Amino acid sequence: MGMTLRIEIFPADIEASLAFYTALGFEVVGRKEGPPYASIVRDEVRIGMVQSHAQPSEHRAVPTGTEIVLGVDDVRAERDRLVAAGIELAEDLQDREWGLTDFRVHDPDGYYLRITDRR
């Protein structure tokens, strides 16, 4: 049997998160109003969002110790595109000792995203 991965995040402001993730190149593929929910995708990456106040507190742990890693074909072009779109970098491009190049951003709720090449 195969396996897929979809992550769920719990933003305080779903509209602000949708604006951020669509600037990252994600497309909104589903919306529900009660409780506020959105599903976004980019290539094979799928993220669900549920407005944080709509979920029990045990589902809304602070995103500490978690890094969401997104692999792209051209990390330098992706970095330039996001900077041009007004996305603030948490850390600019770095060539890592393990052989990858990446940069990092935070979403509006503090989720830590590492955008890296796909070597």
Which amino acid, residue 93? L
Mean per-residue pLDDT, 87-113: 94
pLDDT above 70 for 109: yes
Cα first-last separation, the chain: 26
User: Model confidence over 1-14: pLDDT tens digits?
Assistant: 677 888 999 898 99
User: Model confidence over 27-82: pLDDT tens digits?
Assistant: 999 999 888 899 999 999 999 999 877 555 555 555 567 789 999 999 999 999 99
Give SS3 for 65. coil
Encoded tokens for 60: 């809304």
Output the pLDDT for position 2: 75
> CATH says 6-117 is which class?
alpha beta
